[in-house]
Amino acid sequence: MGLENPLTHLINQLSKFPGIGEKSAQRLAFFLLSQSEGDVRRMADAMVNTREKIKYCNTCFNISFQDTCHVCADPKREGSQLCIVASPKDIFAFERSGEFKGVYHVLGGVISPIDGVHPDMLRIQELIMRCRQGDFKEVIMAINATIEGDATMLYLTELLSSFDIKVSKLAYGLPVGADIDYADELTLQKAMMGRLLV
Ligand SMILES: [Zn+2]
């Protein structure tokens, strides 16, 4: 490993990025070689810094640089609407679309017994606690409509049925199985506006 050619090592590291195969990793590596040492250092520092400073919001488990994320800390957000997402990157997608004015809850994945993900490994207890303590009038399940996503929404619907809270899920405009974080802003706006009661 210590004898590995540094360029080969760089290409191997870059090919770990999602969607980046070996050819793209080579292109990125040669791009980096064409940049000044200062520019490359700034990019590397940005990666390391972000990784070191990132935390999770105490309330919603969004990624944050403080104990409370910028959404939970914003007094203008509508505290009666809670949007449940699988991952913080889905929050980024909804924030880009600008349609949702409420607050979020990040599950940290979806139920998938085949991948060894069981309900107790997700932040479902925390969700129930928030529903007990909060003044939510509506909970919107914004989870990808995959087999695992649908199973997760079914599980949550049953759990949430004991609360006096309206439960809805996104309308599909959003293609079945589509990744929320890849959806364009207009599609997400429409999915949120036309959400369906469950
Ligand atoms: Zn938060």
* Residue 35 pLDDT > 90: yes
Q: What's the CA-to-centroid distance between 64 and ligand 1, angstroms?
A: 8
Q: For the chain, what is the domain count?
A: 2
Name the residues around ion ligand 1, CB cutoff 5 A: 57, 59-60, 62, 69, 72
> Which domain CATH number covers 39?
1.10.8.420
Residue-number span of the structural domain to which 83 is assigned:
76-197
- Model confidence at 191, pLDDT cuts 50, 70, 90, reads confident
Same domain, 19 and 108: no
Q: What's the CA-to-centroid distance between 66 and ligand 1, angstroms?
A: 9
- Confidence at residue 175, expressed as pLDDT on a 0 to 100 scale: 63
Prediction pTM value:
0.77
* Residue 185 pLDDT > 90: no
- Model confidence at 177, pLDDT cuts 50, 70, 90, reads low
Average pLDDT for the chain: 91
Same domain, 42 and 109: no
> Which domain CATH number covers 143?
3.40.1360.10
Same domain, 99 and 191: yes
CB atoms within 10 A of CB 150: 16
- Confidence at residue 91, expressed as pLDDT on a 0 to 100 scale: 96
